[in-house]
Structure 1
Amino acid sequence: LGPNGAGKTTTMKIIATLLKPTSGRVMVMGIDVASNPDSVRKIIGYVPQDLSADDELTGIENVVLQARLYGIPKDKAVRRARELLEMVGLGEAANRLVKSYSGGMRRRLELAMGLVNEPELLILDEPTLGLDVQSKLSLWEHIERLRKEKKVTILMTTHYMDEADRLSDRIAIIDRGKIVAEGSPQELKAKVGGDVIMIKISSDPLKVAEKLKMIDGVRGVDVIEGNIRIKVNVAETMLPEILKVLGSVDGKIESISITRPTLDQVFIEYTGRMFRDEEPGDFRRQMMIWRRKR
């Protein structure tokens, strides 16, 4: 994750051996991308942000062409192409010209093209950019299947927090060319404040708040419009002790709710800006690329 200009696509291109690093060193599966790019290319697949399929070819012709560029014999390339198109739900559209494909179909075709060489590492640069909700969910399912069934390691950039939250085992937030935060979605959320428990009680909330502040593990307690707000790392582990304190005071608990931190909050914390404000420009740029291709 990272704002525009942070270095996400540049990093992906270096890993994919499309750019040489000006400094530092990048290793993929123990292989240096600068000194041994051919060996790296054999074990990676790359799906760029900009669509690369030829509009005037059919879906299967595009995948076969990609396979042939990897040196795969023609008969095997055709079999592999049919298998991949079936896997991404394009079997029935294999012989249609790509210019007749929808945006979601094009993205799935790009995914199939990135898998022709059975890579150990698949690099996806904003794979769902500009897709409608249904197409995005469909592509998510294919990505999850790849990880679980094919055991492919996937490195991706995305503008969508829900996408990162659902698909990622680990997330790195990059800003101005540097990784400013790294961890699982849960770990990153915990770093920016953990869970918030909101309690409404019939007794004096200020007095109850003072008692709650004494609980070990409570990070903060305040009263907002008569509701008690408690900051904790993980709500489930703290609730028993909180309920014990509430049971010792006069008054009835009227409501309890738990709010969990979001990746949006994490992103703002580490970059000082909102990610979603940057989406429209990228979307317009992608639409212009599609129009130019047509």
Structure 2
Amino acid sequence: MDRDKREVILAEINHWRKGRLLPEQYCDFLEKLYHDEEIKSSRSIISLGSIQQGNLKSWFLGFGIISFIFFIVFYFSLFPWPLQMAITLLLSALGYLFSAIHRHRHELLSLALAGAGSLILLGLGSLMIALQGWEGETATSILISVCGIVWFTVGVFMRFNILLYCGLAFGMLLYAFFFGWIHPESSWGMLQLLWLPLSIIFFWITWLCHYRIKRLTRVMFAASLTLWFMPEMDGLLLRQQSAQGMEIIILAKIVVAFVLLYSLRKKWVVWISS
């Protein structure tokens, strides 16, 4: 808690004590509670308060961490690939670890640390593949699989919906790569058959999560909407198909989605708002 707010609360508790608005033991308890919180926050090595007060330990530690990260990134290309992989996994794990530590106290900081760990995993993983000359479908698919599994797992355990969705999105990308390898030349109708049933399944999972795991409903609903337009994204971005007439198809699917969502609004709005 901010120092100024804490001082205001302590002054208010003192006012309650003098005016006998609360019993003495309650005032003692509240006063001890906020004093303990002040002591706890002052013990934090890196905090906004310690930075503002010019705590040299906080400043040196912060610049040391930043310098260490820049050192690793600068010499990353010189390391053998097992060490590159170990560094990537270690830095990502540290990001998720510190995110878990701050999860219930500083939610925004926790989300930023989890995002940093995810970007490190994807960025350094991609750099390692490029440096080792592994740029191919197999290496890319392995990286997508690892990132998707890690992000989905972290999103589940730490209750970050954005990471959950990113994990599912990478799963969709892996699915697209797999069928692109099996059927490199797929017609528009084949792509619809590959993706639209999944969109319906995820819409049904949204309903199921509403009764079983409510916090996943919005993620599953977003995944269902994404899958609805995946045939066109698959054809345009991954299979390099002609864009001629695609805008009419996308507009038609938007109209169909609008009609379906409007017709079922009394159901899915309840699902994602609960």
TM over 0.5: no
Which structure's relative contact order is higher, taking Cα pairs within 8 Å and 6+ residues apart? 1
Q: Which has the larger radius of gyration?
A: 2
TM-score, structure 2 length as denominator? 0.25
More strand as a share of residues: 1
More helix as a share of residues: 2
TM-score, structure 1 length as denominator? 0.24
